[in-house]
């Protein structure tokens, strides 16, 4: 009987209630509803170095009309399609993400520009005529976040309730009278995002939308666009799937993820995720980005201060509403670190992400075959990716259960050519590791290594016999670091006890 090996992450406050994990796997529904299983696990995207900026970390990336720009530390640079990097100018570096906005050429003769807010200062790059780089445009006051809407650049003024508007199509010109302030709530503004031709202004506990009115100051509040939900994580609001997603805060608390349904926040996190995030402590430094891959709209958030500074990255998949973890495996120290990304841009037909700890910009992709007979994007820039799936607890009302056999139904025979080798230099098949816990994940058995078939051995069966018994319930976990494009379809257990079979059949 199947038992839910393919499922989302969900670790409850009591791990004996539920201790599921989904790490560097993506849960995908079989939409035909006629497949072998309802869900499958596919590998999350790997990383390959695309460019390296002269300073670190990578604080933001922006594409405009086929050209790509990035901020790394205190350097604003252009990145070519072949990964070559050209420094353009120095920007302020406060260690926080930079905010970038752009406009294209206009019929009025205005040239494409990129506006950068970094370290409370503004910088403008005009693309035409060989490029002019301007620091601190007059009357642009301590910009924290910037955007572009209806022909105007807008800027959130740091540590205030104000935002500004530029001259039309010109980020170098700011009229000191062209500013406004929120009056519907007392919070200072901490975040701003442009979506659906509206400016969303977020305070710590409230948020509201402004529309283009065409008045002397060309924006005005939308009466119905007021939300009793703000954010304490300024860089988490992101556009995704025709909406805005963010980590919220109001007078009642913090640490819940939301999606805007028109002007109504809808909760997308669950109790397990909320418990985890609130355990991170101060999440004000969290940074989010969104992307679309193979039809999955993915909302990713880096919590750099989590786990005693090791960081954490959580992912919400709009398609399945499943949460998972993305990690970077430090094999030398046997430690899970946060994934090596904090910003994203779709440029040159690639997913480009910036490293929060170095100046590296990576191309990110699902695994692909290469001409040598192996696979690309099955590592993180050469570093192994550790993928973990911890299944739901199997329990039978504290009655003893016996496990004769567990079978993992996966696509075998995907090993590379030439084959992987063991420590003695001998060819081996890819392996998946199996272990189990009979106390809800507090202690674990030794790992069993299960061969999954060398290249072309498609009929290989992956199973383990004589798994013993338990009375308090059992949790199975599979993991792997081998660099192949894993596909896990399902898993089954064989137990001679009829009551267990009947119970699992009812749960299926």
State the pTM of this model. 0.96
Average pLDDT across the chain, whole number: 95
Question: What does the pLDDT look like over 411-439, one tens digit per residue?
Answer: 999 999 999 999 999 999 999 999 999 99
Whether the ω angle into residue 265 lies within 30 degrees of 0, i.e. cis, is no
Q: Which ranges in 355-404 belong to alpha helices (H)?
A: none
Poorest-confidence range of 105-109, 171-175, 321-325?
A: 105-109
Closest CA to 138 of 180, 171, 98: 171
The DSSP bridge partners found for residue 354 are 343, 361
Closest CA to 387 of 490, 281, 482: 482
In a domain, 320, yes or no: no
Q: Which ranges in 336-408 belong to alpha helices (H)?
A: none
CA distance 207 to 166: 22
CA distance 316 to 305: 20
Residue 42 has pLDDT above 70, yes or no: yes
Q: Give the pLDDT of residue 341.
A: 98
The whole-number average pLDDT for the span 250-256 is 96
3-state percent helix, strand, coil for the chain, nearest multiple of 5: 5, 50, 45
In a domain, 453, yes or no: yes
In a domain, 94, yes or no: no
Q: Give the pLDDT of residue 130.
A: 82
Q: Which residues of 327-343 are buried (b: 16+ CB within 10 A; e: fewer)?
A: bbbeeeeeebbbbbbbb
Q: Is residue 422 classed as helix, strand or coil in its secondary structure?
A: coil
In a domain, 472, yes or no: yes
Please give the structure tokens belonging to residue 467: 């798994």
Q: Give the pLDDT of residue 501.
A: 60
Backbone angles phi, psi at 307, to 5 degrees: 55, 50
CA distance 309 to 100: 27
Q: Give the pLDDT of residue 500.
A: 57
Please state, for a pLDDT cut of 70, what percent of the chain lies above it.
Answer: 97
- CATH number at 36 reads 2.60.120
In a domain, 153, yes or no: no
Q: Give the pLDDT of residue 183.
A: 87
CA distance 434 to 464: 9
The whole-number average pLDDT for the span 260-268 is 97
Domain that holds residue 496: 10-21+30-43+387-507
Binning pLDDT at 50, 70 and 90, where does residue 83 land?
very high
Residue position matching structure tokens 């995720």: 273
Residue 497 has pLDDT above 60, yes or no: no
Residue 286 has pLDDT above 80, yes or no: yes
CA distance 247 to 407: 39
Binning pLDDT at 50, 70 and 90, where does residue 344 land?
very high
- Structural domain tally of the chain? 1
Please give the structure tokens belonging to residue 148: 């572009």
Please give the structure tokens belonging to residue 263: 């002007």
Q: Give the pLDDT of residue 107.
A: 82
How many Cβ atoms sit within 10 Å of the Cβ of residue 23?
19
CB 226 within 8 A of CB 245: no
Question: What does the pLDDT look like over 296-326, one tens digit per residue?
Answer: 999 999 999 999 999 999 999 999 999 999 9
Residue-level length of the chain: 508
Question: What does the pLDDT look like over 359-402, one tens digit per residue?
Answer: 999 999 999 999 988 999 999 999 999 999 999 999 988 889 99
Residue 99 has pLDDT above 90, yes or no: yes
Q: Give the pLDDT of residue 45.
A: 98
Q: Give the pLDDT of residue 505.
A: 65
CA angle 49/55/60 to nearest 5° reads 70
CA distance 19 to 446: 18
In a domain, 426, yes or no: yes
In a domain, 437, yes or no: yes
Q: Give the pLDDT of residue 396.
A: 86
Q: Give the pLDDT of residue 495.
A: 60
Binning pLDDT at 50, 70 and 90, where does residue 404 land?
very high
Taking the alpha carbons of 453, 456, 457, 462 in that order, is the dihedral positive or negative? positive
In a domain, 334, yes or no: no
Q: Give the pLDDT of residue 397.
A: 86
- In DSSP notation, 47-68 reads EEEEEE-SSSSEEEEEEETTEE
Residue 276 has pLDDT above 80, yes or no: yes
């Amino acid at each position: 009987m199947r038992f839910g090996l393919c499922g989302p992450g969900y670790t409850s406050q009591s791990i004996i209630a539920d201790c599921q994990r989904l790490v560097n796997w993506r849960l995908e529904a079989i939409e035909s509803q006629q497949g072998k299983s309802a869900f499958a696990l596919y590998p999350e995207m790997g990383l390959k170095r695309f460019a390296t900026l002269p300073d670190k970390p990578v604080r933001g990336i922006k594409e405009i009309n086929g050209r790509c720009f990035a901020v790394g530390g205190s350097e604003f640079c252009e990145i070519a399609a072949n990964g070559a990097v050209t420094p353009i100018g120095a920007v302020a570096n406060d260690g926080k993400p930079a905010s970038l906005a752009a406009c294209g050429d206009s019929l009025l003769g205005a040239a494409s520009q990129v506006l950068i807010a970094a370290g409370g200062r503004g910088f403008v790059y005009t693309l035409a005529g060989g490029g002019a780089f301007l620091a601190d445009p007059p009357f642009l006051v301590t910009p924290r976040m910037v955007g572009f809407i209806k022909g105007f650049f807008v800027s959130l003024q740091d540590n205030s309730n104000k935002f500004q508007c530029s001259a039309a199509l010109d980020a170098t010109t700011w009229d000191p009278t062209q500013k406004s302030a929120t009056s519907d709530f007392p919070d200072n503004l901490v975040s701003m995002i442009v979506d659906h031709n509206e400016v969303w202004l977020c305070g710590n506990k409230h948020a509201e939308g402004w529309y283009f009115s065409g008045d002397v100051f060309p924006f005005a509040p939308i009466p119905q666009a007021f939300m009793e939900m703000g954010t304490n994580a300024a860089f988490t609001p992101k556009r995704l799937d025709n909406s805005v997603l963010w980590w919220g805060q109001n007078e009642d608390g913090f640490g819940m993820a939301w999606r805007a349904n028109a002007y109504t926040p809808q909760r997308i996190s669950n109790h397990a995720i909320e418990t985890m995030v609130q355990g991170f402590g101060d999440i004000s430094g969290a940074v989010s980005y969104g992307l679309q891959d193979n039809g999955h709209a993915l909302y990713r958030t880096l919590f750099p201060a989590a786990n005693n500074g090791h960081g954490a990255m959580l992912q919400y998949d709009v398609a399945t509403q499943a949460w998972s973890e993305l990690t970077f495996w430090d094999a030398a120290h046997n430690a899970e670190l946060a994934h090596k990304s904090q910003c994203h841009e779709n440029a040159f037909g690639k997913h480009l992400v910036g490293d929060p700890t170095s100046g590296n910009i990576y191309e990110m992709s699902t695994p692909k075959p290469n001409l040598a007979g192996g696979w690309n994007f099955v590592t993180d820039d050469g570093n192994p990716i550790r993928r973990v799936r911890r299944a739901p607890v199997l329990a039978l009302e504290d009655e003893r259960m016996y496990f004769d056999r567990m079978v993992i139904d996966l696509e075998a025979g995907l090993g590379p050519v030439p084959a992987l080798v063991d420590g003695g230099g001998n060819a081996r098949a890819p392996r998946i590791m199996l272990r189990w816990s009979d106390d809800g994940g507090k202690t674990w058995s030794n790992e069993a290594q299960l061969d999954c078939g060398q290249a072309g051995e498609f009929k290989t069966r992956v199973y383990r016999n004589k798994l013993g018994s338990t009375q308090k319930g059992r949790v199975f976990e599979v993991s792997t670091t081998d660099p192949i494009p894993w596909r896990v379809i399902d898993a089954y257990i064989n137990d001679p006890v009829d009551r267990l079979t009947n119970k699992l059949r009812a749960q299926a």
